[in-house]
Amino acid sequence: MTKFYTTTAIDYVNGAPHIGHAYEKILTDVIYRHFTQRCENTYFLTGTDEHGIKIQKTAAEKGISPKEFCDMNAQKFKDAWKALDIDYSQFIRTTDEQHTKIVQKIFKKLVDKGDIYKHSYTGLYCSGCEAFLSEKDLTEDGLCPNHMKKPEVIEEENYFFKLTKYKDAIIKHIKTNPDFIVPAFRANEVINQLENIEDISVSRVKSNVNWGIPVLDDAEQVIYVWIDALSNYITAIGYDPDGSSEKFEKLWPADVQVIGKDILKFHSIYWIAILMALDLPLPKHILAHGWITIDQTKMSKSLGNVISPTSVLEAFNLDIPDPLRYYMASAAPCGKDGNYSDEDFKEKVNAHLANSMGNLLNRTLSMLVKYFDGDIRSEFLNKNELEKQALETVKEVKHHFDYFEVQEAAQKIIELVDVTNKYVTDNAPWTLAKEEKMDKCGEVLTNVLQVMTVISSLIYPYCPNIASRMAEQLGYDLNTKLDDITCNALKSGHLIDKENIKPVFLRMDSELADKKK
């Protein structure tokens, strides 16, 4: 691969980040970090969506300007992603000056092309969705299915985008590219939605919504969410209708755009039509992930079960976010819903990260120090019975990531950890030492440590801090590309002293895990 460009949905700043937001960012970050291990030119875009009536109203209630409100809440998202070690390349805000200018140009280009036209309209508007809904979108009681509120009837003269013009082309693209929408079973949902698609409003009257990007040549209208928010994926990397940057030419099209299943329609229909209208290549994949429930219940402010991701780190006294990253990234099969519970979180990360993986490294290094003063001897090398399994796991992990199967890849990594643990149990190096079969004992320990270098590379996207701790104790270069991984990274010589052996992750119910003790 020569490049990899990935994006997340940009989060609406009307509230603080919760664990659902965190799931998407962690998932994308894991995918991004994996592909940095496979190619040189990688880019990860995230950000915030900051225009619209909800921002305008909430800011007014707080007695501050919309921009002040956006500044305050955008920082909350940045702080949360920093706490979770989200390694994004760029954080775009739709209030950024450059984005604003290019969105105006995009809008004008589509007007000039005839793909945007002005039209009087009466429609059902859901302020929660920031969208006009049709009767068939509503529940039997006439409510928005996402927010369970009755939409208001709005009559305006707005600009409309000719979505219907691109209907057949979108259907053809989805059908001829079965891996375009991930998971594939969601493609039929999109095709069904396309059957009755209508042109969409892409502006609002300024007298009703004044917090938005003004339409050039029409002071009475502001650009509505679809042209504004969706365009961030190209404005951020230098798209310009008058001549795009070298950066844009190198990165676009996106390799995968990660979004929630609830906004798949907007990304697989609206966004694709806009790109077609701009004569731009389409993203290679759109990954629609599922939702995260809390104790098997959908998150809701009224139920009081909305969880902040940083509150989880604080509640468990975690000095690194790796346990939460690992748990969330492996919470659900590709595209399916997942669940968070405190008990399951603790049990899973203790079992996988502390007991299986961390303890495997710790006890193997301890035996190397005990029996061989921390040295790897030349006679222990080139006899690796686990090599085939380890290198096969690298292939399997890469295959799963090619299809963005992040949970499935994690399962393969833990399977390799389990196989290696079984190898230690079956060969019992402590018994070999007792029987003075030192060459065989040293060979077993070295085989395990060689595999641990592979495991550190594979687990890195999920647990960058734990992987770094593992690599440091192994004297292993974590920058090794996946295609260059071998099972003989460790050479003969002194590896580690007793005082440098430290647990890479402590059980969350261990006394040592509580920083106050």
Instruction: Give the residue numbers marked as catalytic.
Output: 18, 21, 126, 129, 144, 147, 298, 301
Beta carbons of 216 and 108 less than 8 angstroms apart = yes
In sequence order, what DSSP letters do the residues of 301-347 get, joined into one string? TTTT----HHHHHHHTT-SSSHHHHHHHHTSSSTTS-EEE-HHHHHH
Q: Is 10 exposed, middle or buried (0-12, 13-18, 19+ CB in 10 A)?
A: buried
Query: Cα angle vertex 24, ends 479, 83, to 5°?
Result: 65
Residue 376: strand pairing partners: 493
Within 8 A by CB and 6+ apart from 269, the residues are: 163, 170, 190, 193, 194, 197
Q: Which of 194, 220, 193 is nearest to 205 (CA)?
A: 220
Q: Which of 357, 364, 358 is nearest to 490 (CA)?
A: 364
Q: Which amino acid type is present at position 292?
A: I
b/e map 97-122, b = 16+ CB within 10 Å: eebbebbbbbbebbbeeebbeeeeee
